[in-house]
Amino acid sequence: MNASLKPIICCGYTPCVQRIIEFQCLEKDVVNRASRVTVGIGGKGANTARMVTQLGGKAELIGFAGGANGRLLEEMLNDGGIAFRHVDMEGETRICQTLVEMGNPETTELVEEMPPISTDEWSRMVALFQSLDLSEAVVPISGKLPSGAPVNAYAQIAGMVAEQGGRVILDAPGEPLLLALEHKPFVVKINDVELLQTVGGDDLMAACRDLIQRGAQSVLITRGSRSAFFFDGSPFRQAQGKQTLEIFPPEIEAVNPVGSGDAVTAGMAVDLSRGKDLSEAIITGMACGAANALNLVSGLLKPNDVERLRSEVRWLVKPLSDL
């Protein structure tokens, strides 16, 4: 690992043990017998840390773990060479399941909610984060907050990162996102549905402008296999350069798209940690999202796939009024 790389501190507060269950045919109201079961690491932050590591980045996962499932998760992290620091929690780490039908790119997700954390457990998480050197770190903050965490939890983390001069990639919806905007996250990465649910209305441009006016330095709006939009905040503040990038991902035959959003975050974080500019980082991120979807197991990136697909990412500069 290159010691000169800036650290990537991946916040994963709702990790899980992920079971992928394959069926020849999946039907309702009958007995379905699995042909294969694969057990792996799950949760947005853990997925991001895993893929950062696969890309050669210097990742450290910060999160919670509890019970036998938590120990299994830590064993798998160790086996994957993924550095982590966990706060022990009283509740059991959750298990989530992906149901896959052979030959069908659509998947079914059975998602457990994480047990609530206590006030003391969150206080220990804050103390852990305060112990970190964040001065040059890239800090992806991903996913839903666990029950029991304060609604301003991400704002607390983003504030600590901003105070030390690190850069936040924030991938979270709702009030936790809005409260964190006062600390000017470097990138808000959000899908179109969550963006509109967070700010209301049906106008992507107005919703993006809202995030930037509240403090986001830039916004990347993803739309699954469709094109993404990237907005730099400075044109809004300076009332000039009223353009955006529309970014077209590679065309692939997806096997399992679960985790592709986390792959986008991982690719961006690694490029930023290597000193590349944000436009390059986003192109790498989009290639990573496609590369993840080529595999049955989510959270798996093959660097050769990423490099090949990176050349297939296209972008178009267009007026904001076209959205």
Residue 19 domain-assigned? yes
Residue 138 domain-assigned? yes
How many domains does the structure of the chain reveal?
1
Q: Over 80: is that where the pLDDT of 319 sits?
A: no
Percentages helix, strand, coil for the chain, rounded to the nearest 5?
A: 40, 25, 35
Q: What is the mean pLDDT of the chain?
A: 90
**Distance separating the N- and C-terminal Cα atoms of the chain:** 42
**What is the pairing mode between strands 243-248 and 314-319?**
antiparallel
Q: Any idea what the CATH number is for the domain that residue 193 is in?
A: 3.40.1190.20
Tokens matching residue 231: 């907005």
Predicted pLDDT at 254: 86
Q: Could you tell me the pLDDT band of residue 302, with boundaries at 50, 70 and 90?
A: very high
Residue 241: which domain range?
A: 8-322
Distances (CA, A) of 145 to 158, 197, 200, 283: 14, 16, 20, 28
CA 118, 121, 127, 132 dihedral sign is negative
Residue 263 domain-assigned? yes
Residue 45 domain-assigned? yes
Please list, in sequence order, all residues whose beta carbon lies within 8 angstroms of the beta carbon of residue 168, skipping any fewer than 6 positions away: 139, 140, 141, 157, 158, 161, 162, 180, 183, 185, 186, 187
Reference 98, options 113, 87, 106, 108; nearest CA is 108
How far is it, in rounded angstroms, from Cα 247 to Cα 317?
9
Residue 3 domain-assigned? no
Task: State the Cα torsion 60-63-64-69 to the nearest 10°.
Answer: -50
How far is it, in rounded angstroms, from Cα 61 to Cα 70?
14
Predicted pLDDT at 244: 78
pTM of structure: 0.90
The percent of residues above 90 in pLDDT, for the chain, comes to 74
Mean pLDDT of 140-160: 95
Q: pLDDT for 41-80, tens place per residue?
A: 999 999 999 999 999 999 999 999 999 999 999 999 999 9
- The gap from C-alpha 181 to its chain's centroid, in whole angstroms, comes to 17
Mean pLDDT of 5-9: 87
Residue 175 domain-assigned? yes
Mean pLDDT of 88-109: 90
Residue 232 domain-assigned? yes
Predicted pLDDT at 6: 81
Mean pLDDT of 89-105: 90
Task: State the Cα torsion 256-257-261-267 to the nearest 10°.
Answer: 60
